[in-house]
Structures are given as C-alpha cells and as structure tokens.
C-alpha cells in the first residue's frame, strides 16, 4: 500500500469523504463531485500514478485536500491501514463511498461459470466492500463527531442487484449481496446518526462498459432506457454528493435507482 501526498490545506475545515475505486469512471466523477460540494477527498485505487495525482490536483483546484491511496479492496489486511491513513491525514472521516468493483471476468452461459471467476468477483465486490465498510463504521463509532457534521455510508451497487443477467451471474450475485449489506448496516447504525444508502446505477458510460457500447447503443435506441440516453459519471456523482451532504438523514436504508427509468416495470 502506498499513497500520494495530501495537497495543501484549505483555509477552512471541510468534511472528509473516502471513496473506493476513485481513479477513473464513476469513481472519479464521484470524487470530483464531492470536492465541488465542499469535501476533502481521499480515494483508493489499485494503482497510484500520474492519473491519480491529476485528480488530487482537481480536488485542490476546487478548494480541498486530496489523497490517493494504492490498495486492493480484496486484500482485507490492508483495510485498517487505509482507514488509519485517511484519519491521520485529515483527522476525520465523515463519508464513505463504496464504489470499487469489477465486472465479470468472462461473460457467457451461466452453466459455464467458473468458480475462480465467481470467487474473484465476490472477493472484491462483496467481501471486500462488506469488511471495508465494517472498518470505517468502527472508526466512526469510535470517533463521534463534535461539530454536528453529517456522517454517511453510501454503496454504489447496480441495477443488477435486482435485474438478472444470466451471462454475468457472478456480478449479479455480488451486487444482490451488496443490497443486503446495505440493509444490515442501516439497521446496525440506525441509532448512531450514520446514514446508510445504496445507489443502483443503470447503463453508465465508463471504461467498464466501453467494450459493449455498441450493444447498449442499440438497446437504448430501441427503448430499453425510458430517458433515451446513457447515464454519465456526473449523473452518479451529483446523487452521491447530495446524499453525502446529510439532507436525507431520515431516509437511511433507502435504495436510489439511478438508471433513467430502466428498472421500472413496464407492460
């Protein structure tokens, strides 16, 4: 595990968000939206490089401090160190955004799903997220806020938590598991003042979906998404920033569909 230096301290204190998988795609959009909304932001990535440093610079340009930490979400023994690194650098953690995840290593017939592919997806998307959330929740409970700042745990899952795609069985199972993880933490933390939310993106234009862009272009043109367009990273970032601000405190445990109407049942 390694990290970049924290960018210069702003003049006024800001809440602190920790985003997993913040180097690209939806994660980067979330990091930038939170910085715009007034947060200092730490984010993890498998690799910290010039691209990560550029995101830290964006955070600084928006008035905050940024920190990029190299870490593998599947490596449970790294979790405590990541949480401690963020707490040491910023002195607080007000919001966790669980965004890191991987797609199905191989799309294909469910009857051909390989155990090693299933295990890898579960290790990152479900097992890693559950125990990283546990580590952050423990830190939050051990360090009660003294200034009334809102605290939230936000998990970015997928419409695949409830919409089945047999050619991506490992991915769907991991996201369905995250839906239960969200409910469990919402109940466990209900009296702590920590909000817990699940955000389910639909078809979002990212590096992960670039390989099947042609397929989804045709499906969207055919009416699959009622709003008639791809989702963009900024669509997700703006929702996360709104949740992180604390305005939905009494809605803890809620699921937010961010899919342009994709998951609405139709006749």
Does 223 reside within a domain? yes
The whole-number average pLDDT for the span 17-45 is 97
The whole-number average pLDDT for the span 227-246 is 97
Does 266 reside within a domain? no
- Give the structural domain span for 19: 2-256
Burial class (CB in 10 A: 0-12, 13-18, 19+), 191: exposed
Does 264 reside within a domain? no
pTM over 0.85: yes
* Residue found by looking up tokens 């160190």 in the block: 81
Q: What is the CATH number of the domain that holds 49?
A: 3.40.50.720
11 pLDDT higher than 50: no
Displacement of CA 24 from its chain's centroid (Å): 12
1 pLDDT higher than 60: no
Beta strands in 50-179 (DSSP E): 66-70, 95-98, 151-156
Query: Which is more confident, 8 or 207?
Result: 207
At residue 149, the pLDDT reads 92
Whole-angstrom CA distances from 159 to 127, 176, 255 are: 19, 9, 10
Does 33 reside within a domain? yes
Give per-residue pLDDT as tens, 113-166. 999 999 999 999 999 999 999 999 999 999 998 898 999 999 999 999 999 999
Sign of CA dihedral 55, 56, 61, 63: positive
2 pLDDT higher than 70: no
H or E element, residue 46: none
Domain count for the chain: 1
Query: Which is more confident, 11 or 186?
Result: 186
CB of 102 closer than 8 Å to CB of 168:
no
Does 72 reside within a domain? yes
At residue 182, the pLDDT reads 98
Does 36 reside within a domain? yes
The whole-number average pLDDT for the span 184-196 is 97
At residue 212, the pLDDT reads 83
Give per-residue pLDDT as tens, 63-92. 999 999 999 999 999 999 999 999 999 999
- What residues are labeled active site? 157, 171, 175
At residue 211, the pLDDT reads 82
At residue 8, the pLDDT reads 53
């Amino acid at each position: 595990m390694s990290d970049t230096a924290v960018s210069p301290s702003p003049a006024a204190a800001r809440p602190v968000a920790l985003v997993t998988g913040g180097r690209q795609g939806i994660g980067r959009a979330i990091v930038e939206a939170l910085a715009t909304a007034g947060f200092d932001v730490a984010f993890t990535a498998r690799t910290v490089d010039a691209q990560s440093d550029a995101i830290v610079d964006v955070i600084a340009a928006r008035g905050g401090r940024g920190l990029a930490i190299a870490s593998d979400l599947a490596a449970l023994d790294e979790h405590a160190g990541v949480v401690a690194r963020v707490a040491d650098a910023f002195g607080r953690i007000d919001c966790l955004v669980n965004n890191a995840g991987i797609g199905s290593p191989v799309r294909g017939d469910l009857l051909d799903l390989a155990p090693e592919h299933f295990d890898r997806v579960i290790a990152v998307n479900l097992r890693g997220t559950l125990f990283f959330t546990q580590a952050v929740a423990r830190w939050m409970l051990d360090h009660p806020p003294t200034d009334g700042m809102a605290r939230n745990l936000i998990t970015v899952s997928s419409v695949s938590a409830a919409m089945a795609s047999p050619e991506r069985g490992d991915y769907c199972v991991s996201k369905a598991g995250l839906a239960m993880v969200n409910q469990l933490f919402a109940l466990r933390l209900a009296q702590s003042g920590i909000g817990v939310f699940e955000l389910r993106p639909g078809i979002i234009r990212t590096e992960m979906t670039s390989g099947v862009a042609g397929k989804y272009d045709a499906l969207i043109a055919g009416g699959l998404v009622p709003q008639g367009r791809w989702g963009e990273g900024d669509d997700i970032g703006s929702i996360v920033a709104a949740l992180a601000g604390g305005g939905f405190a009494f809605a803890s445990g809620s699921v937010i569909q961010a899919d342009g109407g994709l998951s609405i049942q139709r006749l």
